Structure 1
Amino acid sequence: MSPHASPPTAAFLLLFLSAVAGDGAAAARVPAVIVFGDSSVDAGNNNQISTVLKSNFRPYGRDFFGGRPTGRFSNGRIPPDFISEAVGLRPFVPAYLDPMYGITDFAAGVCFASAGTGFDNATSNVLNVLPIWKEIELYKDYQNKLKAHAGELEAKKIISEALYLISLGTNDFLENYYSLPSTRSRYRTIDQFQDYLLGLAENFLRELYSLGARKMSLTGLPPMGCLPLERTRNYVNGNGNGCMEEYNAVALRFNGKLRGLVKRMNSELSGIRVVFSNPYEVFVQILRNPSHFGFEVVSVACCATGMYEMGYLCDQMSPFTCADAGKYVFWDSFHPTQKTSEIIADHLMKHSLHQIL
């Protein structure tokens, strides 16, 4: 469908997507995909809360089913959507707060993520988005509705056998530690802050475990110093227009600590199966050799000038927005294109998620 075609009605979309979902349900390797995190995996929950951090307008979603801007920070689908399809479920995971969907839809997959959030509550406060504890509260509400819908036994089976995708942490560094003097005064070194976040991540995993989750994927940080926004800041600060290598080094160190946490959780909690899903290396491969993956542009994004815009600054009226997002690694200054997300999801399926499916 042309990105300029009129979007279909909500009723048509529901009918179409339900039909697509039904085709693969019999082959599903897990009964549901359940998602927690930030804008890397938010399917539209921020649409329903009071925050400026939204993407429920064009050109966001122009390559999604029907060209509909769902609230995903992408021109189309995001990694959980591709992972859901890969395990035999629907080709998308709906947002829990999206009024288009209900418990019948959520029984096969649901997203509680909120763009702009992090492990630290101070991160979610920056743009007034859902803190991670609120995502847990929504999950508890979901469990109650699931039990009423499917019955206690079936609900318990879905909860214990579902694949849980957890993706957050980038905002804790870029929007919190490096942006808030109060945080840097509390944690004098980046390692102290990382250890603090690691404790929060452990608490989150343990709480999910106590609520019945068993198959979990903890996603690491991408090379966050290579985001177009950080490249722009690097240029403005007079240090060249390449990646902020300091930020990339922080991401690598934190990923190492997350990997250690996953190993420890597997040894301490009975019946749990956690994997560390690392997007860093494949992302670096894409950035270093874009033509191998079919990309032409890596340093700037498709939307607007591609240097600093995201959210409301990514305006469909901008004359600079690219015609073909498939040639770009990044959609806006902070988020990958649908094509990049598909490559990353495929990499995670092959190198980590297969271990718990």
Structure 2
Amino acid sequence: MRDKQLECVYLRWLFLAQFFMLIITDAAKVPAVVVFGDSSVDAGNNNQISTILKSNFRPYGRDFYGGKPTGRFSNGRIPPDFISEAFGLRPFVPAYLDPMYNISDFAEGVCFASAGTGYDNSTSDVLNVLPVWKEVEYYKDYQNKLIANVGEQKAKFIISEALYLISMGTNDFLENYYTLPNTQSQYSVDEYQVFLIGLAENFIKEIYGLGARKMSLTGLPPMGCLPLERTTNFLNGYGEGCNDEYNTVALHFNQKLSGLVQKLNKVLPGIRVVLSDPYNIFMQIVLKPSSFGFDVAEVACCSSGTFEMGYMCDQLNPLTCTDATKYVFWDSFHPTEKTNKIITDYVLKNSLQQFFT
């Protein structure tokens, strides 16, 4: 009888092992994850450039592997890390400018993102970060190194079959349009959205021309609910709630991105681009944090949680929370690792699932 039970247990585990191997094998059809964008996906490129917008110090990264502050704007991992792992690749995507890694590391995943950037080149000028055209230049350099490292045929396969994650736009509004009078004098908010959509289209066509085919274009979050914007809303006398105007802009911009995705899939042969829209799931988390296992959504874990990020969020501040899993936001602008995981799981299920086949 005992032998029969052991045999059943063995067969069950054998089935599960085979099942998971099939998932991994299927997922491996994406040989690499390539990342462009801003701080929502920057794995540490800003560490290597002259800007005040950095996070390569604790308490950033305190829940990352080894408690290491890598330059990710979170207490732990960010969405590209979870996406890479879900596709059977490494559980993190390294920054291209990180001297700890080389082209052999980047063959299955590489991040060109720069915190503080946007589709608009003038957005990157605000905090002296990498403009998106520079991210593309690094991508071209990466391609040349990849060919030299793995050969032209394999490099071509990696480039064409990789999943490209594109995540930016928030800074274009919060650090540019709503901050710089010159931008507002040039455009109405709707005109600026149309301008950005044109830039997004040009960017996608450019990397398409360089061989990219599988792409995820990330929409804007409810940016009016970021703790920093709540604080500004309060200081302006509007109350302690979210900035509804900013959230409305995010919704409208995401609708325009959706239209762009439909257009590109029709006009660019062989492209597969999807819109990964985090707005609704993010808003659900903010409005009903307890439903997702959070205690606090209005303020962030780091420091007072109302306006600090970057150098204002350092390990010497005694106000920083001890358990980031209770908070939706890590600093006044960026989610905690737990929030990133929930949003990424949603995106994987609702947008990226087609890339598993």
The interval holding the TM-score normalised by the smaller chain is over 0.9
Q: Deviations over 1:109-152 (max 9, x none)?
A: 00000000000000000000000000000000000000000000
Counterpart CA distance in 2 for 1:42 and 1:292 is 29
2:141 maps to which residue?
A: 141
Counterpart CA distance in 2 for 1:316 and 1:171 is 26
Q: Which amino acid aligns with 2:127?
A: L
Counterpart CA distance in 1 for 2:167 and 2:343 is 13
Say which SS state the counterpart of residue 34 (structure 1) adopts: strand
Name stretches of at least 5 consecutive residues in structure 2 with no aligned partner: 1-23
2:329 equivalent to 1:348? no
Q: Which amino acid aligns with 1:330?
A: F
Conserved 8 A contact 1:29-1:88 = no
Say which SS state the counterpart of residue 286 (structure 1) adopts: helix
Task: Identify which range, 286-295 or 262-271, moves more after superposition.
Answer: 286-295
Q: Which amino acid aligns with 2:185?
A: S
Q: Deviations over 1:272-328 (max 9, x none)?
A: 000000000000111111111100000000000000000000011111000000000
Which structure 2 residues correspond to residues 16-165 of structure 1 after superposition, within 5 A?
A: 28-165=28-165
Say which SS state the counterpart of residue 50 (structure 1) adopts: coil
Counterpart CA distance in 1 for 2:88 and 2:331 is 29
Which structure 2 residues correspond to residues 172-191 of structure 1 after superposition, within 5 A?
A: 172-187=172-187, 189-191=188-190
Q: Deviations over 1:130-182 (max 9, x none)?
A: 00000000000000000000000000000000000000000000000000001
Say which SS state the counterpart of residue 96 (structure 1) adopts: coil
The two structures, once aligned, show a CA RMSD in angstroms of 0.9
Conserved 8 A contact 1:214-1:274 = yes
1:248 maps to which residue?
A: 247
Which structure 2 residues correspond to residues 177-216 of structure 1 after superposition, within 5 A?
A: 177-187=177-187, 189-216=188-215
Q: Which amino acid aligns with 1:303?
A: C
Name stretches of at least 5 consecutive residues in structure 1 with no aligned partner: 1-23
Counterpart CA distance in 1 for 2:119 and 2:182 is 17
1:166 maps to which residue?
A: 166
Conserved 8 A contact 1:218-1:276 = yes
2:227 maps to which residue?
A: 228
Q: Deviations over 1:186-232 (max 9, x none)?
A: 11x10000000000000000001000000000000000000000000
Indicate the structure (1 or 2) with the bigger Cα radius of gyration: 2
Deviation, 1:356, is 2.8
Q: Deviations over 1:62-98 (max 9, x none)?
A: 0000000000000000000000000100110000000
Say which SS state the counterpart of residue 41 (structure 1) adopts: coil
2:14 maps to which residue?
A: none
Q: Which amino acid aligns with 2:253?
A: F
Say which SS state the counterpart of residue 216 (structure 1) adopts: strand
Identity score, percent: 73
1:20 maps to which residue?
A: none
Say which SS state the counterpart of residue 229 (structure 1) adopts: helix
2:357 equivalent to 1:325? no
Q: Which amino acid aligns with 2:258?
A: R
* Count of residues paired in the alignment: 333
Deviation, 1:26, is 9.0
Q: Which amino acid aligns with 1:203?
A: N
TM-score normalized by the length of structure 1: 0.92
Counterpart CA distance in 2 for 1:78 and 1:265 is 27
Counterpart CA distance in 1 for 2:345 and 2:107 is 24
Counterpart CA distance in 2 for 1:31 and 1:164 is 11
Counterpart CA distance in 2 for 1:355 and 1:251 is 25
Counterpart CA distance in 1 for 2:280 and 2:65 is 29
